[in-house]
Amino acid sequence: MMKKELKIKSNKTNQQKQKRTNPLANVFDDFIDFCQSKSLFMLHYCTGCGAIELPPAMTSRFDMERLGIQPMVTPRQADILLVTGYVSVKTLKRVILTYEQMQAPKYVIGICSCTVNGGMYWQSYATAKKLNEYMPVDVYIAGCMPRPEAVLEGLNRLKNNIKNDRKEQKGSAWKDYYKNYDYYLGNQQNLFGKEWQTPVDVIAEAKLYGLEGEGTYGENTKKLKMVQHPLLPQEMKL
Amino acid sequence: MRPENYQAVPLGDSNEYEIFIGPNHPGIEGNYALKLILDGDTVVKGTTDAGYLHRGFEKLMEGRLWIQNLAIVPRICVPDPAPMEVSYSLAVEEIMGIDAPIRAQWIRVLQLELSRIAAHLFTFGGHAATTGMYTPMYWGVADRDLVLDLFEDFTGGRVYSIYNIPGGVRRELPEGFLEKLSHLLDYLESRQNDYDNLLFTNQIFVQRAKGVGVLSKEDALEYGVTGPNLRACGLAFDVRRDDPYLIYDQLEFDIPTQQKGDAWSRILVRRDELFQSIHILRQVIAKLPSIKGPIRTAIPNPLSWNVPAGEAYARVESSKGELAYYVVSDGGDKPYRVHVRGPSSMHAVQTLEFLAKGARIEDVAQIMFSLDACPPEVDR
Amino acid sequence: MSLESLNEILNKINTIKITHKHKRRIRVDVKADSLTTLLELIKGQASFLHLSAITCVDWIEDNQFELVYHVWSYEENCLISAHTRIDRDDAKFVTVYDLYKPADFFERDIYEMYGVFFIGSPRMEKFILTEWFGMPPMRKDFDSEAYVQETFNWTEYNPDWLQELSDQGGGIAIKPEDIRLSGTLHNKATHREREKAKKEHVVGKGWKS
């Protein structure tokens, strides 16, 4: 594993933005954003210490539900992925698999200082340091560990970002994963080895969402094809 | 692997199949995984997969000063951090050949017992949730939060207090703290009936928990089980009484035991222990005002502090079982080696694998929670 | 059982060194080949049933690994720590799994973290470090910090308010010789900071002692 600093190429997509002619469309867009921000399902991946402050935040005392946020047990039905604390390399693989399984639009919140910069485990050989090298992060909640109030504040900020997404382009970090897949994949390959690949075909998804751009392809995504081996004929047995 | 690369697994003659539970699964405590081989819904073999929470603590501690390590030791077990600090401090004190002042020892006991109460309240909820009852979780977490408020009051930290240092504790108790504590204990005792009705005698829970994960006394001894899990098998062993540290030999408390060794016995032992802790805290409240004196023995400048060469094995009773720190010093300003013996490293690996064998798949989560396994203690 | 009879049992082993640290702690130093005999003896005759832990200590200067077996007796209320040393280059030892089942966990842990192979231990395979392919990380010659500096990037953190504070003469002043954030042997990050601090002499400008 060698240290490599990759750079994000560009944020432009190949698709041109369509002009809306219907005046009602904007109203509908706002309404959709409003609804989205008021009903969020949260998957908390208990990667570290920060998970201990989530039960108080979820249950009677601080009560996350009044913000319209509820815990969800499967990634496929969740909107928010909470990464609660340091991510060891072994966990990071699973976090990425979980993240890719989620349906867009999806949001990532990094709780605890460790997700920002390794925190107090900065010397540790086993933990990954910057979470946003491997997946786009919407909101960081720093602290060791952040109190439930801070967690709620972070979630509130995410809600506001989602609500004002179309105006300020704040709550759409998930689009970044498709636009700059090459960058994220490159970082993942640096850490896990060249043969790293996930079951989800991100490039095909990028095409589907119309989010493929310059940064979607690159030398790192080429490696994916090199590793893929052709489907072998199935052995039949009775 | 991508979908186009998937190869169908050829089926053998057996009916067994393999499933993974975790690491991100509501029925798993923390970030931990189990690989189960099933026949129907009976577990044939369970293998644990740890290391998701591995941070290399023992390596990190070798690279930090004696005093810096106090900041990272509580992070080894998140629900019950106080015994970690105390155990590390006791080990360093033993190498230094010093003792904490009497008042500091009483305050440490206060902190340890409060932490035990918080950890047990947390466990009740977790255990009940694996049987489909979510109300105890809401109650337990809410009541635990009252304890955390007290922690914040006297240590400054909600979860990680970092209150102990080798040679004593860092701060004096704030004014009026003991009254607040007394009120909290009254409140917790008044909740006893509610918890009994809701959980401990609730037939929905009892039927699920009775006879699940039965551990005989012999097996428990063989697998190195300690703490409440061992006491649920009928052996009244408690480090606080049998290998006393601090001032536990001056306190009166019972060691609750059960005979059956199943999940229900284990949670009953924890319930009784919680009330024993309240009993201990009442003695501390009565005694503490009469003990005057310093709360800290002087230690050298912590930034250039060389602990003399030596080694010590300090054991304490955490809410999960026997917790021990083995600390070796070579006379330098950093520990030469620190080994953490977490109680869960016994419970969550071999004992869990042993108990999972032959259990039904829906009981596996309950077995894990009833053992009160704390995965970061395994991974460190 | 009295202390004398326990001593008698321990003294059956040749070349044993017994140190009574205090009432409930006994340190025992034995040669590597008689360690299993010792454990068998104290388990069989003095009811030391509970293996509390096995620790490995890397004494790199002596080129040795020290293995420490902490064994507790529920009847005597006494902990024996049996110390033994093995060669570091040819790190192999015999398992005690047939005596104590918890040894499985500890031996596997030591195998991963130090590379000591335990002959006869049931699961000498990867457990915690399944995604790790370097040298056993707990060995003293593995430099965790250097590895981290080589592998990971850092988030830059230079917020405006911190800049403003130090422009106004605020901030925390640390003398260059006192900067020892972590202070490992080859500390690149702190080295970098030390160099930076030496240039500026003090970090905050307005600080006076």
Write the CATH number for B177.
1.10.645.10
Subunits with 3+ C-beta pairs closer than 8 A to A? B, C
Chain B: residue whose CA lies nearest to A197: B1
Asked if A123 is an interface residue toward chain B (Cβ–Cβ < 8 A), one would say yes
Residues 36-95, chain B, touching A (beta carbon < 8 A): 51-56, 59-60, 63, 71-72, 75, 78-79
H or E segment at B161?
none
Q: Are residues C72 and C92 in the same domain?
A: yes
CB B159 within 8 A of CB A52: yes
Whether B2 maps to a domain, the answer reads no
Given this model, what pLDDT does residue C170 score? 65
Given this model, what pLDDT does residue A50 score? 81
Q: Are residues C111 and C38 in the same domain?
A: yes
Question: Between B and C, how many residue pairs show a Cβ–Cβ distance under 8 A?
Answer: 91
Whether B16 maps to a domain, the answer reads no
Q: How many angstroms separate the CA of residue C91 from the nearest CA in chain A?
A: 23
Q: Which of B50, B64, B334 sits opposite C128 (nearest CB)?
A: B50
Whether C114 maps to a domain, the answer reads yes
Given this model, what pLDDT does residue C68 score? 92
* Final residue before a domain boundary, out of C122, C142, C162: C142
Given this model, what pLDDT does residue C186 score? 37
Given this model, what pLDDT does residue B186 score? 92
Average of per-residue pLDDT across C66-76: 88
Count the neighbouring beta carbons within 10 Å of the beta carbon of residue A95.
23
Q: What's the token pair of residue A65?
A: 């539900």
**Residues of chain A scoring pLDDT < 50:** none
Please state the ipTM of this predicted complex.
0.87
Whether C149 maps to a domain, the answer reads no
Range of the domain at C36: 3-142
Domain coordinates in residue numbering, chain A: 28-172
Whether B176 maps to a domain, the answer reads yes
Q: Kindly report the CATH number that applies to the domain delimited by A28-172.
A: 3.40.50.12280
Chain B: residue whose CA lies nearest to A227: B1
Q: Are residues C75 and C34 in the same domain?
A: yes
H or E segment at B46?
strand B42-49
DSSP line for chain C: --HHHHHHHHTTSTT-EEEEEETTEEEEE--GGGHHHHHHHHHHHH---EEEEEEEEEETTTTEEEEEEEEEETTTTEEEEEEEEEESTT-EEE--TTT-TTHHHHHHHHHHHH--EEET-TT-S-SS-TT--SS-TTSTT--HHHHHHHH--------HHHHHHHHTT-S----GGG--SS--TT-HHHHHHHHHHHHHSSSSSS---
> Tens digits of per-residue pLDDT, B59-79?
888 888 888 888 888 888 888
Given this model, what pLDDT does residue B176 score? 87
Q: Is the pLDDT of residue C101 over 70?
A: yes
Whether C103 maps to a domain, the answer reads yes
> Residue B3's Cα: distance from chain center in Å?
42
Given this model, what pLDDT does residue A38 score? 85
Q: Are residues C162 and C196 in the same domain?
A: yes
Whether the full predicted model's pTM is greater than 0.90, yes or no, is: no
Whether C205 maps to a domain, the answer reads no
C199: confidence class by pLDDT, cuts 50, 70, 90: very low
Any bridge partners for residue B188, and if so which?
A: none
Asked if B211 is an interface residue toward chain A (Cβ–Cβ < 8 A), one would say no
Asked if C14 is an interface residue toward chain A (Cβ–Cβ < 8 A), one would say no
Q: Is the pLDDT of residue C193 over 80?
A: no
Subunits with 3+ C-beta pairs closer than 8 A to C? A, B
Given this model, what pLDDT does residue A11 score? 61
DSSP line for B298-349: ----GGG-PPPSEEEEEEEE-SSSEEEEEEEE-SSSS-SEEEEE-THHHIII
Q: How many angstroms separate the CA of residue C8 from the nearest CA in chain B?
A: 23
Residues 52-111, chain A, touching C (beta carbon < 8 A): 89-90, 93
At residue A170, what are phi and psi to the nearest 5 degrees? -95, -40
C183: confidence class by pLDDT, cuts 50, 70, 90: very low
Whether C148 maps to a domain, the answer reads no
CB A131 within 8 A of CB A82: no
**Average model confidence (pLDDT) across chain A:** 81
Asked if C178 is an interface residue toward chain B (Cβ–Cβ < 8 A), one would say yes
Count up the domains in chain C and report the number. 2
Chain C: residue whose CA lies nearest to A190: C151
Report the sign of the C-alpha dihedral through residues A235, A236, A238, B6, in that order.
positive
Given this model, what pLDDT does residue C200 score? 46
Cβ pair C184:B63 closer than 8 A = yes
Q: Is the pLDDT of residue C187 over 50?
A: no
Count up the domains in chain B and report the number. 1
Q: Is the pLDDT of residue C3 over 60?
A: yes
Any bridge partners for residue A42, and if so which?
A: A71, A80
Range of the domain at B308: 56-379
Q: Are residues C116 and C37 in the same domain?
A: yes
Query: What is the C-alpha separation between C177 and C201, in angstroms, rounded?
Result: 10
Whether B45 maps to a domain, the answer reads no
CB A175 within 8 A of CB A210: no
Residue B131: Cβ-neighbour burial (10 angstroms; 0-12, 13-18, 19+)? buried
Chain C residues touching residue B349 (CB < 8 angstroms) = 105
Chain C residues touching residue B221 (CB < 8 angstroms) = 49-50, 74
Given this model, what pLDDT does residue A237 score? 57
**Residues of chain B scoring pLDDT < 50:** 1
Q: What's the token pair of residue C126?
A: 């990867």
How many residues appear in chain B? 380
Residues 107-136, chain C, touching A (beta carbon < 8 A): 129-132, 134
Query: What is the C-alpha separation between C15 and C12, in angstroms, rounded?
Result: 9
Q: Which of A5, A93, A124 sits opposite C153 (nearest CB)?
A: A5
